[in-house]
């Protein structure tokens, strides 16, 4: 994958620090930087896997002499947004060694990332934050969350609609990407916040099952739900973990745009022998599983965590790129310290047909907010009213918050089922 690549010209960060593209010769230094920053030990197999997924043109390192002291990168992505999708920079492998904090390195790397995203025509950037306090100052806001659901094993399956007729099939992971990707794409059409997957991402990440990445669990298995005509309508990836008094099944991914296929897959996990608990991570916060039971406590939410942090890089393109749920005409006073082109007063208009646009205006603002709050609300997962209650949005015209809230609404909560 390295053939024909050239380095960016070296740019001075501060005194002896330099920033440049990742190269084939950086393997050991790259791994050492990630392991120190994330408090982990990356095996050779894991490093090879990630090495094949990284985009060399979008991955950079910062060097102090010959030592890598910071890293960052981005995957070119297509992120589902209400009514469609937009190009997005999937920010990844962001590290700064503790010996080199407070030297402006992360600020410089983010500036480079924003420049590259602009050149690639990406109006959005998204990331999963290892530390929540880092990215707000760069204009990222928490736009999606994920839940961990738990239910007992060895009990009757949840009810499903009458007339549903599905068969279940266990399949090998190898080569399953083309079968599963259409289901993933249908879910992307139902929910905002879901990145598209390339063939390489399916084979090298989703369906990769390295033993040293299972954290002590058994191998990953794939079960597919097929309808009466034999067409795949849902799938789940899962693995078993030894536990006392009985095995725990960990559902890594359950994707079923057909609700009856989804119920069938949950029923599968409820009926596996010798299982004491089923634990599903990365679920949407409005997952309907709880309401499939007469006893709402049969499935419970064990945890909710922040998922995708979203950054609006090009405000007009982001507004035009999503569908709006109601007509709208108001003015936003936007603060953006990192990208001044986004800052100022913008007239936000949405038609009854869902088309949106924004343009600079001299009209008095109805709402005042920073770009991080706008990123949090953009996918419809965080209400502007909630952000105003938290002091992140100021309502200058009575009723403006409610109008924006209605226009941003989506039938289902946005969802980001995987990190990167």
Instruction: Enumerate the known binding-site residues for acetyl-CoA.
Output: 94-96, 102-107
DSSP bridge pairs for 170: 223
Residue 111: other Cβ atoms inside 10 A: 14
Q: What is the dihedral of CA 287, 87, 234, 180, to 10 degrees?
A: -150
420 assigned to active site: yes
Q: Which of 114, 135, 138, 166 is catalytic?
A: 135
Q: Which of 114, 138, 269, 420 is catalytic?
A: 420
Query: In angstroms, rounded to a whole number, what is the distance separating the alpha carbons of residues 380 and 325?
Result: 10
Token pair 């204009």 is found at 139
User: Which residues fall in the annotated binding site?
Assistant: 94-96, 102-107
Q: Is the peptide bond before 345 cis (omega within 30 degrees of 0)?
A: no
Catalytic residues: 135, 420
């Amino acid at each position: 994958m390295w053939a024909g690549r050239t380095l960016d010209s070296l740019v001075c960060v501060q005194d002896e620090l330099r920033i440049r593209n990742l190269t084939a010769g950086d393997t050991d230094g790259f791994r050492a930087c990630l392991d120190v920053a994330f408090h982990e030990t990356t095996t050779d197999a894991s490093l090879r896997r990630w090495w094949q997924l990284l985009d060399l043109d979008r991955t950079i390192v910062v060097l102090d002499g010959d030592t890598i002291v910071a890293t960052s990168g981005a995957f070119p992505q297509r992120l589902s947004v209400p009514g469609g999708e937009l190009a997005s920079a999937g920010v990844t492998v962001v590290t700064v060694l503790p010996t080199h904090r407070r030297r402006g390195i992360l600020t410089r790397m983010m500036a480079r990332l924003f420049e590259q995203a602009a050149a690639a025509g990406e109006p959005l950037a998204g990331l999963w934050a290892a530390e929540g306090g880092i990215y707000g100052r760069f204009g990222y806001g928490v736009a999606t969350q994920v839940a961990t659901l738990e239910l007992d094993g060895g009990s009757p399956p949840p009810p499903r609609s009458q007339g549903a007729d599905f068969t279940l099939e266990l399949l090998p992971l190898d080569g399953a990407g083309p079968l599963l990707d259409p289901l993933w794409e249908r879910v992307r059409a139902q929910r905002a916040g879901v990145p598209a997957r390339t063939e390489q991402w399916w084979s090298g990440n989703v369906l990769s099952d390295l033993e040293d990445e299972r954290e002590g669990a058994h191998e990953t298995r794939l079960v597919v739900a097929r309808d009466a005509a034999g067409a795949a309508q849902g799938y789940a990836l899962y693995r078993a973990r030894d536990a006392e008094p009985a095995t725990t099944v960990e559902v890594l991914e359950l994707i079923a745009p057909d609700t009856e296929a989804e119920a069938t897959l949950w029923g599968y996990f409820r009926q596996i022998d010798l299982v004491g608990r089923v634990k599903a991570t990365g679920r949407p916060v409005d997952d309907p599983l709880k309401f499939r039971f007469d006893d709402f406590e049969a499935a419970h939410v064990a945890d909710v965590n922040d998922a995708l942090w979203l950054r609006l890089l090009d405000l007009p393109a982001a507004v035009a790129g999503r569908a709006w749920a109601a007509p709208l005409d108001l003015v936003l006073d936007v603060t953006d310290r990192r990208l001044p082109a986004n800052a100022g007063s913008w007239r936000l208009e949405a038609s009854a047909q869902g088309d949106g646009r924004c343009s600079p205006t001299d009209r008095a603002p109805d709402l005042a907010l920073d770009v991080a709050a706008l990123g949090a609300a953009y996918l419809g997962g965080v209400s502007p009213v909630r952000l105003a209650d938290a002091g992140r949005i100021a309502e200058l015209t009575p009723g403006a918050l409610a109008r924006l809230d209605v226009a941003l609404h989506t039938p289902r909560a946005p969802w980001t089922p995987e990190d990167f």
